[in-house]
């Protein structure tokens, strides 16, 4: 008798519920998203853990976080679930197959996506684009579950790339911007520690660039910033800096146009050590649709102007 490849007790409802709880870090929110009761969601997760013989979540915190085994299981389960969804859509000729779903970090949304989307839509293909923005971790979770076809942004840490592939498009650094007329712009012998006396808008701890920013500041002896505001909102950062003396640390692509139009100004500091690769992240187990391939080519052409 042939050995069964997967325990027959594991159902799609187990995998779907697990992926939602992992994404939302909450059984209650996952139950709402799946339109089931909270006890039913909890029971489904417990059943899956019993079948696998191990805990998938660390329940010692207010929010649920994946256990070490849960992290590994999530990557394989998400990839498999996404591949199955793509197959079902393709077999059924679903409308979603005509939509290129793109996860994009804010810097990409501001810098290369407008030109890429314009070029792609002008080709007259029977396809539409759906742009989803957010933190890198959130976008990668959507990629693994098939909610987006690709992610465009900074390359993430190697340990988070299991089952994923990265294609480099261009490199980008973090910059420090202030309002025109800011007091620091008039100082001839500017050095980085001068920012300690000002409010500083910093990327959030879960953002890709935060580690690079922290390392740069520490290397330059900046250890006593008076007041930090953590944000990933470009709209807030842009508005706040224009009307205060705050200093904004942000990816260059987000503020390129603002600087060119003299709405914001760069502080004279070398931030080259924060430079990192920006590009496509895709799943290695799926083949892009013709529309997705066409969109990616439009992005490559838009990015080539930045090299």
pLDDT one-digit tens code per residue, 199-215: 999 998 888 899 999 99
Query: Is 116 in the same domain as 143?
Result: yes
**In this structure, what CATH number is given to the domain that contains residue 44?**
1.10.10.10
| Mean pLDDT score across all residues of the chain | 88
Q: Residue 1: pLDDT above 50?
A: no
Query: Is 167 in the same domain as 185?
Result: no
Which residue range forms the structural domain that includes residue 54? 12-66
Query: Is 181 in the same domain as 265?
Result: yes
| Among 28, 43, 66, residue at a domain's last position | 66
pLDDT of residue 36: 93
Query: Is 127 in the same domain as 151?
Result: yes
Asked whether residue 18 is assigned to any structural domain, the reply reads: yes
Average pLDDT over residues 156-163: 81
Average pLDDT over residues 264-274: 93
Neighbours of 132 (CB within 10 A): 15
Asked whether residue 240 is assigned to any structural domain, the reply reads: yes
Query: Tens digit of pLDDT for each residue in 144-153?
Result: 888 899 999 9
Asked whether residue 122 is assigned to any structural domain, the reply reads: yes
More confident residue, 75 or 27: 27
Query: Tens digit of pLDDT for each residue in 46-101?
Result: 999 999 999 999 888 778 889 989 988 988 888 788 777 767 766 655 544 478 99
Asked whether residue 90 is assigned to any structural domain, the reply reads: yes
Asked whether residue 6 is assigned to any structural domain, the reply reads: no
Tokens of 159: 């340990």
Asked whether residue 26 is assigned to any structural domain, the reply reads: yes
Asked whether residue 1 is assigned to any structural domain, the reply reads: no
Query: Is 232 in the same domain as 281?
Result: no
Query: Is 291 in the same domain as 142?
Result: yes
Query: Is 202 in the same domain as 156?
Result: no
**In this structure, what CATH number is given to the domain that contains residue 182?**
3.40.190.10
Query: Predicted confidence band at 4 (pLDDT cuts at 50, 70, 90)?
Result: low
Query: Is 285 in the same domain as 151?
Result: yes
pLDDT of residue 150: 94
pTM exceeds 0.75? no
SS (H, E, C) the chain: CCCCCCCCCCCHHHHHHHHHHHHHCCHHHHHHHHCCCHHHHHHHHHHHHHHHCCCCEECCCCCCEECHHHHHHHHHHHHHHHHHHHHHHHHHCCHHHHEEEEEECHHHHHHCHHHHHHHHHHCCCCCEEEEEECCHHHHHHHHHCCCCCEEEEECCCHHHCCCEEEEEEEEECEEEEECCCCHHHHCCCCCHHHHHHCEEEECCCCCCCHHHHHHHHHHCCCCCCCEEEECCCHHHHHHHHHHCCCEEEEEHHHHHHHHHCCCCEECCCCCHHHCEEEEEEEECCCCCCHHHHHHHHHHHHHHHCCC
Q: Residue 219: pLDDT above 80?
A: yes
Query: Tens digit of pLDDT for each residue in 36-45?
Result: 999 999 999 9
Asked whether residue 5 is assigned to any structural domain, the reply reads: no
Query: Is 166 in the same domain as 191?
Result: no
| Among 21, 40, 66, residue at a domain's last position | 66
Query: Is 25 in the same domain as 150?
Result: no
Query: Is 205 in the same domain as 229?
Result: yes
Domain count within the chain: 3
Query: Predicted confidence band at 2 (pLDDT cuts at 50, 70, 90)?
Result: very low
Query: Is 110 in the same domain as 201?
Result: no
């Amino acid at each position: 008798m042939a050995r069964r490849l997967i325990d027959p007790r594991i159902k799609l409802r187990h995998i779907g519920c697990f992926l939602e709880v992992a994404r939302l870090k909450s059984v209650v929110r996952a139950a709402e998203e799946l339109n089931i009761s909270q006890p039913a969601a909890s029971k489904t997760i417990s059943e899956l853990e019993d079948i696998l013989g191990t805990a998938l979540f660390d329940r010692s915190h207010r929010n649920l976080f994946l256990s070490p085994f849960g992290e590994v299981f999530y990557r394989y389960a998400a990839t498999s679930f996404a591949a199955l969804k793509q197959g079902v859509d393709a077999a059924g000729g679903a409308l979603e197959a005509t939509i290129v779903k793109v996860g994009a970090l804010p810097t990409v949304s501001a810098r290369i996506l407008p030109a890429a989307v314009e070029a792609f839509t002008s080709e007259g293909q029977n396809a539409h684009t759906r742009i989803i923005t957010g933190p890198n971790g959130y976008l990668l979770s959507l990629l693994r579950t098939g909610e987006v076809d690709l992610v465009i942004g900074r390359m993430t840490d190697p340990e988070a790339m299991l089952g994923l592939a990265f294609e480099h498009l261009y490199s980008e650094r973090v910059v420090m911007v202030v309002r025109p007329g800011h007091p620091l712009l008039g100082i001839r012998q500017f050095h980085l520690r001068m920012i300690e006396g000002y409010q500083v808008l910093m990327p959030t701890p879960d953002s890709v660039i935060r580690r690079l920013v922290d390392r740069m500041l520490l290397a330059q002896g900046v250890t006593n910033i008076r007041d930090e505001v953590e944000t990933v909102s470009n709209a807030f950062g842009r508005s706040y800096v224009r009307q205060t003396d705050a200093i904004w640390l942000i990816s260059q692509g987000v503020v390129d146009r603002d600087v060119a139009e003299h709405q914001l100004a760069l502080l004279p500091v070398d931030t080259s050590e924060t430079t990192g690769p920006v590009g496509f992240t895709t799943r290695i187990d799926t083949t892009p649709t013709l529309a997705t391939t066409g969109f990616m080519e439009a992005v490559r052409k838009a990015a080539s102007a930045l090299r």
